[in-house]
């Protein structure tokens, strides 16, 4: 390590010694399942936000300290810190990344956030998962072996680790991989909480069919984006065949006979996309309402009750490109209400990109989004 890096490490070590004495504030009436070994961490995960691009190659694209402080001031207490470009070998690049990760965690803890370090690298793991659990376990363990020395210096009530975001595999392959990966990580992080989601897009209905792993210190994470045609309308990253780019103006709540829905169906038919028009109409045979969201959270709460393991929704949000703003805010508010009713924590997706918490005009938290997620009259729960 170069002299400058050593100096930074010493400085960060001193800061960390102070930060590690800070314990997260207790939550209100919602309690983690009885006997869970890290209840303090679960309590802080009631309200959070995902943080991609903290290490973006372009510093201008990174979240700022001012933004992070503003979000904390609105009552958000947890950061899901995405590791999207993990080093795949030991060496100077690994040392530099470890230093950057350490400094970012110290910064977040100094603002009184807790942190879950999320390996957001399914694109790297996919080919190993295709080979099978042994290959995937070896590859992913290699990454976590490199990350663990950074994480283990922090209090287990403040920092957790998430095995892999949206594992690109079927349930059998992923769950066998996860079992082996948990065993490996326990060699390096014996007491830190591990976060695991079901295979694929981490849907709540997939969690309902998942059996807990043989480790009591695990939080189970799902993602919630239903109804998908609403939350992802106007998406531009799926390629020329992705139908989402052709959908716009869908409301929430929504019924098949709503004027805006019928206008969307007619526009699709008139543009030669009858199949997509039919799919939209078929999905709205069951109206999009808050009752449907409540049903989904009931599934999560039932699984938590059955297994005795905590559940969080560590991704949910609505793309802002073409969704009516009032509908986007209504959906966010409905999810927040149902999560509170079910005593399930959440982490909003994302920070300042297409689903962002930030107002693109001011660069600070969007007041409407904040009010939808954390109403000013809402008490801590």
In 3D, which of 322, 124, 118, 294 has the Cα closest to residue 234?
Answer: 322
Buried b (16+ CB within 10 A) or exposed e, 125-164: beebbeeebeebbebbbebbebbbebbeebbbbbbbbbbb
The CATH class of the 3-25+38-233+294-373 domain is: alpha beta
Q: Confidence class of residue 4 from pLDDT cuts 50, 70 and 90?
A: very low
What residue spans define the domains of the chain?
3-25+38-233+294-373, 254-287
Q: What is the pLDDT of residues 163-214, one digit of tens each?
A: 999 999 999 999 999 999 999 999 999 999 999 999 999 999 999 999 999 9
Q: What is the pLDDT of residues 60-113, one digit of tens each?
A: 999 999 999 999 999 999 999 999 999 899 999 999 999 999 999 999 999 999
In 3D, which of 354, 331, 321, 307 has the Cα closest to residue 32?
Answer: 307
Model's pTM, two decimal places? 0.91
Q: What is the pLDDT of residues 127-159, one digit of tens each?
A: 999 999 999 999 999 999 999 999 999 999 999
- CA-to-CA distance for 220 and 198, rounded, in angstroms? 8
Q: What is the pLDDT of residues 53-73, one digit of tens each?
A: 999 999 999 999 999 999 999
Please give the average per-residue pLDDT across 349-360, as a whole number.
95
- CA-to-CA distance for 260 and 266, rounded, in angstroms? 10
Name 219's bridge partners.
195
- CA-to-CA distance for 239 and 169, rounded, in angstroms? 22
Token pair in block for residue 82? 């995405």
- CA-to-CA distance for 343 and 352, rounded, in angstroms? 26
């Amino acid at each position: 390590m170069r002299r400058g890096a050593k100096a930074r490490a010493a400085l960060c070590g001193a800061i960390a010694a102070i930060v590690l004495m800070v314990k997260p504030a207790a939550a209100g009436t919602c309690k983690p399942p009885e006997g869970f070994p890290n209840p303090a961490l679960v309590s802080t995960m009631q309200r959070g936000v995902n943080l991609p691009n903290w290490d973006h190659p372009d510093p201008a694209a990174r979240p700022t300290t001012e933004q992070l402080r503003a979000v904390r001031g609105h009552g958000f207490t947890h950061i899901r810190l995405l590791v999207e470009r993990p080093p795949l070998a030991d060496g100077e690049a690994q040392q530099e990344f470890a230093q950057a990760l350490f400094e970012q965690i110290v910064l977040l803890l100094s603002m009184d956030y807790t942190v879950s370090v999320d390996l957001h690298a399914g694109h790297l793991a996919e080919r190993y998962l295709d080979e099978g659990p042994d290959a995937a376990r070896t590859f992913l363990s290699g990454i976590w072996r490199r990350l663990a020395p950074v994480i283990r210096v922090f209090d287990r009530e403040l920092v957790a680790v998430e095995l892999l975001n949206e594992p690109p595999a079927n349930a059998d392959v992923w769950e066998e991989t996860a079992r082996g990966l948990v065993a490996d990580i326990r060699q390096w992080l014996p007491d830190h909480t591990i976060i695991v989601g079901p295979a694929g897009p981490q849907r709540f209905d997939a969690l309902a069919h998942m059996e807990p792993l043989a480790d009591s210190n695990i939080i189970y994470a799902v993602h919630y984006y239903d109804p998908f045609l609403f939350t992802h309308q106007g998406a531009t990253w799926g390629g020329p065949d992705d139908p989402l780019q052709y959908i716009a103006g869908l409301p929430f709540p929504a019924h098949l006979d709503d004027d805006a829905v019928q206008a969307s169906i007619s526009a699709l038919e008139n543009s030669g996309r009858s199949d997509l028009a039919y799919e939209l109409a078929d999905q709205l045979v069951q109206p999009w309402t808050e009752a449907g969201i409540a049903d989904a959270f009931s599934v999560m709460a039932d699984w938590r009750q059955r297994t005795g393991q905590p559940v969080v929704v560590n991704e949910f949000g609505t793309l802002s490109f073409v969704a009516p703003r009032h509908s986007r805010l209504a959906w966010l508010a409905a999810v927040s209400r149902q999560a509170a009713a079910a005593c399930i924590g959440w982490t909003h997706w994302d920070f300042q990109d297409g689903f962002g918490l930030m107002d693109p005009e001011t660069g600070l938290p969007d007041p409407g989004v904040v009010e939808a997620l954390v109403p000013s009259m809402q008490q801590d729960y």
